[in-house]
Structure 1
Amino acid sequence: MAMSVTISAATDDDVEQILKLQYLCFQPEAERHGDYGIEPLVQTLDQLRAELDAGYVVVARLGAEVIGSVRATVEPDTTARISMLCVHPRMHRHGLGSRLLTRIEEHVRTERAATRYRLSTGHADEVGLRLYRRNGYTPVDTVASAGGRATLVTLEKEASATAFTTSA
């Protein structure tokens, strides 16, 4: 019998697996921009634990293995900052990115009163940009990354907006 993927809130027991997954998933982004000092690749376990305490982290599991993750915090202006969406490469094209995004949006809207969602991705992340657009996000800004080697695209969506799916 095949195992099914479950999506739930992360716990402190998931932190090491999340960090390893994040490191694996963000390697291509770092390579594209020639910058291996990007946050997902230099974050420590203690920093991730602090994020888990301060915000909300969702994981996708296949059995006991964490195969996807996403995080969010809600700012005082009720904008949810969504970050670090990642899915294990062997699980791409199964809809997990959209499922994780939907779950975190639902949580911050209903439990944390978010009225808008905001996230950023590299301008060359065609897969990510397509995923976010399919889920109702629109680009609102572009800025140079902290290291200056990449351009980040910021996308937003109103919490009341309904996500839609189109063929990729």
Structure 2
Amino acid sequence: MTDDVTVVPAVVADAGEILTVQRAAYLVEAQRYRDVFLPPLTETLDEVRAALSGPVVVLVARHGARLVGSVRARVDGDTAHVGRLSVAPDQQGRGIGGRLLAAVEQACADRVARFALFTGARSAENLGLYARRGYLVVAHRSDENGNRLAVLEKVTPARSDA
């Protein structure tokens, strides 16, 4: 149940909490792929601050005062590239990831025709979340460390005012 969770735009002061939750969330992926050098785990606080200061859409989920998740999207042409979807491990399975994904889609919807993202090809929970949200696997590729990734896309419905 996510009724007690709010999703709001992030501010630069959220950077430390975002990085903490992101690292905790991606440790599961690091263990799955036996790779502690996944980009979300090696990102620095300054890099998170830069994302928060730039043109990237960054949203956070809060349970009371506690930051429990975040997501980012970078608009490039007609595509919003979604990334760094993270939910605190003790809050996973409560629908927070789905709420964050829906919120970032809504924040970008009037500017894009498609959403794109990637996740580990063996990350069944992530793939399930994205499939439930209408994403389709369109390709597979390897990351810089040789991990197999699934590339997913979702085409936005045509706007009625277009």
TM-score by length of 1: 0.89
Q: In structure 1, what is the equivalent of residue 34 of structure 2?
A: 34
Which of 119, 143, 146 aligns to 2:144? It is 146
Q: Structure 1 residue 145: deviation in Å?
A: 1.1
Q: 2: distance between equivalents of 1:20 and 1:93? A: 19
Moved more, 4-13 or 85-94: 85-94
Q: 1: distance between equivalents of 2:116 and 2:53? A: 20
Unaligned runs of 5+ in 2: none
Q: 1: distance between equivalents of 2:9 and 2:156? A: 20
The one-character-per-residue Cα deviations of 1:4-40 (angstroms, maximum 9, x if unpaired) are: 2111000111110000000000001111111111111
Q: In structure 2, what is the equivalent of residue 44 of structure 1?
A: 44
Which of 141, 148, 157 aligns to 2:154? It is 157
Q: In structure 1, what is the equivalent of residue 131 of structure 2?
A: 133
Q: In structure 2, what is the equivalent of residue 56 of structure 1?
A: 57
RMSD of Structure 2 on Structure 1 (CA) = 1.3
Q: 2: distance between equivalents of 1:124 and 1:92? A: 18
Q: Structure 1 residue 131: deviation in Å?
A: 0.2
Which residue identity does 1:154 align to in structure 2? V
Q: Structure 1 residue 53: deviation in Å?
A: 2.2
The one-character-per-residue Cα deviations of 1:61-93 (angstroms, maximum 9, x if unpaired) are: 0111110110000012x1000001111121122
Q: 2: distance between equivalents of 1:159 and 1:13? A: 32
The one-character-per-residue Cα deviations of 1:87-134 (angstroms, maximum 9, x if unpaired) are: 112112211111100000010113xx1110000000111100000000
How many pairs align? Answer: 155
Q: 2: distance between equivalents of 1:4 and 1:32? A: 31
Q: Does 1:69 align with 2:70?
A: yes
Q: 2: distance between equivalents of 1:128 and 1:114? A: 23
Identity among equivalent pairs (%): 38
Which residue identity does 2:6 align to in structure 1? T
Aligned residues of 2:74 and 2:80 also touching (Cα < 8 A): yes
Equivalent positions of 1:66-145 (< 5 A) are 66-76=67-77, 78-110=78-110, 113-145=111-143
Q: In structure 2, what is the equivalent of residue 164 of structure 1?
A: none
TM-score by length of 2: 0.92
Give every structure 1 segment of 4 or more consecutive aligned residues whose post-TM-superposition deviation is greater than 3 Å: none
Which residue identity does 2:47 align to in structure 1? Q
Q: 1: distance between equivalents of 2:89 and 2:115? A: 25
Unaligned runs of 5+ in 1: 162-168
Q: Structure 1 residue 56: deviation in Å?
A: 0.6
